């Protein structure tokens, strides 16, 4: 699968009083990258919640913080998805700084598909499973 790469800028609200990105805000960047990956493929999470009636929930997360990001940094958040059974997806993700792609954060995220009404596990929608199992899926890496 191709690596999806999404740009983001660090704003004041992302940082602590010293202008360093607050550790929990990296999770927001990771989440947004997964959402933008879906959007790049034509999937809307809001629409998927209505039809076929599914939501995605993080069920496991492992994060390694290597270097801090700072106010005004240009970051790139990568997302490399793969199927993990009938219900789950795994994402290898990284946050890098600028053109030099200095590694700041790496994460492994496991996401489960659940029924929007009952919140019980359910199979990934067929169109998404097809994308996950396609070797050339995804928006072009930049």
> Active-site residue 64, yes or no?
no
Residue recorded with tokens 């997302």: 79
Strand order in the sheet with 88-97: 4-9, 74-84, 88-97, 102-115, 54-65
User: Which of these is catalytic: 14, 16, 84, 115?
Assistant: 16
State the pairing for strand pair 88-97/74-84.
antiparallel
Residue recorded with tokens 């999806």: 4
Beta pairing partners, 87: none
Closest CA to 127 of 36, 32, 54: 54
d(CA 62, CA 46): 26
The catalytic site residues sit at: 16
């Amino acid at each position: 699968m191709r690596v999806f790469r999404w740009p983001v800028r660090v704003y004041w609200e992302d940082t602590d009083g010293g202008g360093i990105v607050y550790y929990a805000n990296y999770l927001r960047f990771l989440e947004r990258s997964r959402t933008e990956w879906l959007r790049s493929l034509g999937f809307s999470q809001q629409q998927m919640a209505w039809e076929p009636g599914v939501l995605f929930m993080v069920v496991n997360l492992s994060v390694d913080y290597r270097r801090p990001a700072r106010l005004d940094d240009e970051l790139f958040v990568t997302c490399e998805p793969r199927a993990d059974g009938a219900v789950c997806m795994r994402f290898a993700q990284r946050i890098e700084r600028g053109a030099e792609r200095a590694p700041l954060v790496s994460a492994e995220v496991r996401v489960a598909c659940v029924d929007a009404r009952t919140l019980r596990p359910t199979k990934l929608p067929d169109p998404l499973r097809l994308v996950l199992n396609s070797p050339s899926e995804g928006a072009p890496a930049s």
